[in-house]
Amino acid sequence: MTIRPQSRRVPLDNKPPIKKRERRALLWDILKKLAVFARPYRLLIAATLILTVLGSFTAQVNAFVLRYAVDTLTEIATLAEPWQAGLRMLGIISAVLLTKEILSIFISFGQRFFGEKIRINLSRDLSQKIIERILTYRMAFYTSSENDSGKLQTRIDWGVSSLTSLVQNFFIDMLPLFASAIVSLIIMFLTNVWIGLVGLVIIPIYFFISQKQAKRLQGFRRQMRSFREAKSGLVISLINSISVVKSFVREPIEAQKHLKIQKDMTDNQLRIRSIGFIYDAIKTFIEQIGVVVIILLTSYFVLQGQMTIGMVLFHVLLFQNVAAPIRQLHRIYDQINNALTYAEGFFEILEDDKQVENVTGMSTKDLKGHIKLKNVDFTYPNGTQALKDVSFDIRPNRITALVGLSGAGKSTIISLLVKFYEPDSGKILLDGHDLKDCDTHELRQRIGLVLQSNHIFSGTISENIRYGNMNATMDDIIVAAKKASIHEQVIKLADGYESTAKSLSGGQQQRIALARMFLKDPPIVFLDEPTASLDAIASQQVKKSLDLIKKDRTVIMVSHNIAQIIDADDLVVIENGQVVETGTHEALYDKGGKYYEIFSAMSDSLNLDKISQTLQG
């Protein structure tokens, strides 16, 4: 049987099309927000504008020179000895054009360099600002399906790209053309009102056509955004699941999924380009009508004796200076619509005040570690209720183990205690104070978290351990590594503590995380299945380090390991998000309830009878 990959139609953006008035308001709103980032570069902007104005005047020189050349040649042609006058005219023209060109080179370089500097600086500032911003957001922001890594990366990258491209198009490409068009139009009016009116009339026609073009393309651009987000998410998902893909030999199916999105994107891009070609042809045709009208009008005035022959080319060149930027209006509309499509999502992320963690609050410097949960309910952002009316005590300087089947809610409790999330109802008290009123950063500085799989950053072993205390010396790092039973293995590596941390085995990486914890030296430690993914020998080595961590601290532990559970002073048994039993190991075992059932299952899974016989034999 052949398994066919399911066709995935990428949904369009759920937002309705933006109406003309809403688009203007949204564009103005985005420009105001962008102006905040541009304010530090106001001197660069002023310099760019000044150079742009100067460049717009030098752009008219060719039209004046051509008029002078034609009119002068017409007069010289009637002379008996035209060569001397002709050479003098050529010398003047050459000198003017070369001087103009030299000035244009410096003006254009300055204008483009300053414009590019503004764009690059804005790109850096926007990227840095949004990273700094999302680092302040709650954990719920990152776990939301709307903010998975692919979508989030696409929104940030394309938001920055579209905003900075808008700045680049405005300051580097379009602003000089528009300045030149305005100056050309003024000169046309000063020369002849009728000629000026021809140049003026074409502007609203071009605007109208470009606006129609933008409106026609708006839906396609929003669809392209959805395609890009889906493609980015698919690639990241593929990389994260590559071992599963290869183990099931599903490479062709994954390739087909990617091909489907690629084909949809290609079709969408071709539609965009074909629509653009049609509208560009219409604008070119209208421009040629304008050129014909200019030639006819000027020729009429020449025949009437009101103008010289050189004015024909003079007006045609001026008209083309007016039409050139208008002809490029679709680029401005493209950038505006890209800015509206992507910058809207970018600023939604940047300005999501509801996601900001409340990090200020009561000091926890004199932390004793007495934690009490009272009637706590919690539901994840996806709607899954994880805890229901949870109440129990965690006494200071004792080891409390959270026991239960997978999915019972144990790790959720750890997440609430670290303030990754806040309970929907009920209270979590720390030394008698509501946890939500405590200073979040100070609290986390005094809490250590060891997970089943701790993240190891790109970099050296020493850098990863130092993450626990950025001011630690090398001696401090070595002491922490010895406590974590990893020092002897590190010094055997070719580069010692400067070796790449990610090249270590899983058990070694776990001990690096423990060394990081020893360096932090927190009074409260949360252990969430710290040995679950390790082999027996690595688990035993890590357990020795964990025994040191537990000493003279408040420890909250999640584990399915019998040896760690029976070491705990207090046990809290959780089932389906509710606390069903609390007490010591002996008391709960004798009770014969849920803990007895779980403990017996753990014992049976270890085949203790067989182990006992082997050891006795």
Query: Is 90 exceeded by the pLDDT of residue 284?
Result: no
Class of domain 371-446+522-616: alpha beta
- Cβ 185 vs Cβ 199: under 8 Å: yes
Secondary structure (DSSP) of 365-429? TT----EEEEEEEEE-TTS-EEEEEEEEEE-TTSEEEEE-STTSSHHHHHHHHTTSS--SEEEEE
d(CA 257, CA 232): 12
Mean pLDDT, residues 408-428: 89
Query: Which of the residue ranges 116-120, 526-530, 533-537 would you say has the lowest mean pLDDT?
Result: 533-537
The dotted CATH code for 32-355 is 1.20.1560.10
Determine the 3-state secondary structure of 362 from DSSP: strand
**Phi, psi (deg, nearest 5) at residue 544:** -60, -40
d(CA 445, CA 462): 20
Q: CB-based contacts of 559: which residues, under 8 Å, 6+ apart?
A: 401, 403, 527, 529, 530, 531, 532, 565
Q: How many CB atoms lie under 10 A from the CB of residue 224? A: 22
Q: How confident is the model at residue 170 (pLDDT cuts 50, 70, 90)?
A: confident
pLDDT at res. 402 = 92
d(CA 71, CA 217): 47
Query: Is 70 exceeded by the pLDDT of residue 204?
Result: yes
Mean pLDDT, residues 51-74: 84
Q: Between helices 175-191 and 310-327, what is the axis angle to 10°?
A: 150
According to DSSP, residue 492 is labeled T
Q: How confident is the model at residue 376 (pLDDT cuts 50, 70, 90)?
A: very high
Q: Kindly tell me the burial class for residue 208, based on how many C-beta atoms sit within 10 Å of its own C-beta (0-12, 13-18, 19 or more).
A: exposed
Q: How confident is the model at residue 333 (pLDDT cuts 50, 70, 90)?
A: low
- Cβ 572 vs Cβ 400: under 8 Å: yes
d(CA 180, CA 56): 4
Q: How confident is the model at residue 537 (pLDDT cuts 50, 70, 90)?
A: low
Can you give the residue ranges of every domain in the chain?
32-355, 371-446+522-616
pLDDT at res. 344 = 76
Q: How confident is the model at residue 5 (pLDDT cuts 50, 70, 90)?
A: very low
Q: Which of 534, 581, 583, 580 is closest to 559 using CA atoms? A: 534
Q: How confident is the model at residue 329 (pLDDT cuts 50, 70, 90)?
A: low
Query: Is 90 exceeded by the pLDDT of residue 374?
Result: yes
Higher-confidence position of 215 and 511? 511
Number of helices followed by number of strands (H, E) in the chain: 24, 10
Q: How confident is the model at residue 391 (pLDDT cuts 50, 70, 90)?
A: very high
Q: How confident is the model at residue 319 (pLDDT cuts 50, 70, 90)?
A: confident
d(CA 224, CA 213): 17
Q: How confident is the model at residue 4 (pLDDT cuts 50, 70, 90)?
A: very low
pLDDT at res. 505 = 80
Mean pLDDT, residues 516-543: 76
Query: Is 70 exceeded by the pLDDT of residue 145?
Result: no
The secondary structure element, H or E, covering residue 17 is: none
Report how far apart, in Å, the C-alpha atoms of 432 and of each of 197, 364, 423 are. 80, 12, 17
d(CA 343, CA 162): 7
Q: How confident is the model at residue 420 (pLDDT cuts 50, 70, 90)?
A: confident
- Per cent of the chain over pLDDT 70 is 87
Torsion angle of C-alpha atoms 63, 182, 208, 20, degrees rounded to 10? 160
Q: How confident is the model at residue 375 (pLDDT cuts 50, 70, 90)?
A: very high
Higher-confidence position of 14 and 483? 483
Across the chain, mean pLDDT equals 81
Mean pLDDT, residues 428-438: 87
pLDDT at res. 6 = 39
Q: CB-based contacts of 486: which residues, under 8 Å, 6+ apart?
A: 508, 511, 512, 514, 515
Report how far apart, in Å, the C-alpha atoms of 377 and of each of 21, 141, 342, 611 are. 45, 20, 37, 42
pLDDT at res. 571 = 92
Query: Is 60 exceeded by the pLDDT of residue 16?
Result: no
State the alpha helices, DSSP H only, in 248-361: 251-303, 310-327, 329-338, 344-350
Q: Give the torsion sign (CA, 6, 9, 10, 11).
A: negative
Query: Is 80 exceeded by the pLDDT of residue 15?
Result: no
Query: Is 50 exceeded by the pLDDT of residue 36?
Result: yes
pLDDT at res. 338 = 66
- Cβ 233 vs Cβ 149: under 8 Å: yes
- Per cent of the chain over pLDDT 90 is 8
pLDDT at res. 608 = 65
Token reading at 269:
């891009």
Q: Which of 58, 77, 52, 251 is closest to 171 using CA atoms? A: 52
Give tens-digit pLDDT for 572-591. 999 999 999 999 889 998 88
Query: Is 80 exceeded by the pLDDT of residue 387?
Result: yes
- Cβ 401 vs Cβ 557: under 8 Å: yes
According to DSSP, residue 351 is labeled T
Q: Which of 54, 61, 287 is closest to 176 using CA atoms? A: 54
Q: How many CB atoms lie under 10 A from the CB of residue 356? A: 13
Half-sphere exposure of 154 (CA within 13 A, CB side): 20
Report how far apart, in Å, the C-alpha atoms of 135 and of each of 350, 380, 486 are. 11, 20, 31
Q: How confident is the model at residue 373 (pLDDT cuts 50, 70, 90)?
A: very high
Report how far apart, in Å, the C-alpha atoms of 459 and of each of 504, 526, 577 are. 12, 25, 39
The secondary structure element, H or E, covering residue 491 is: none
Token reading at 242:
């590559």
pLDDT at res. 483 = 84
Instruction: Write the Ramachandran bin of 357: left for phi over 0, alpha for psi from -120 to 50, otherwise beta.
Output: beta
Token reading at 274:
């074909």
d(CA 440, CA 430): 12
Token reading at 430:
């720390």
Q: What's the length of the chain? A: 617
Q: How many CB atoms lie under 10 A from the CB of residue 538? A: 17
Q: How many CB atoms lie under 10 A from the CB of residue 267? A: 13
Higher-confidence position of 36 and 226? 36
Output 378-383 pairs: Cβ under 8 A, ≥24 positions apart: 378/412, 378/416, 378/421, 378/423, 378/424, 379/424, 380/143, 380/421, 381/140, 381/143, 381/144, 382/143, 382/144, 382/145
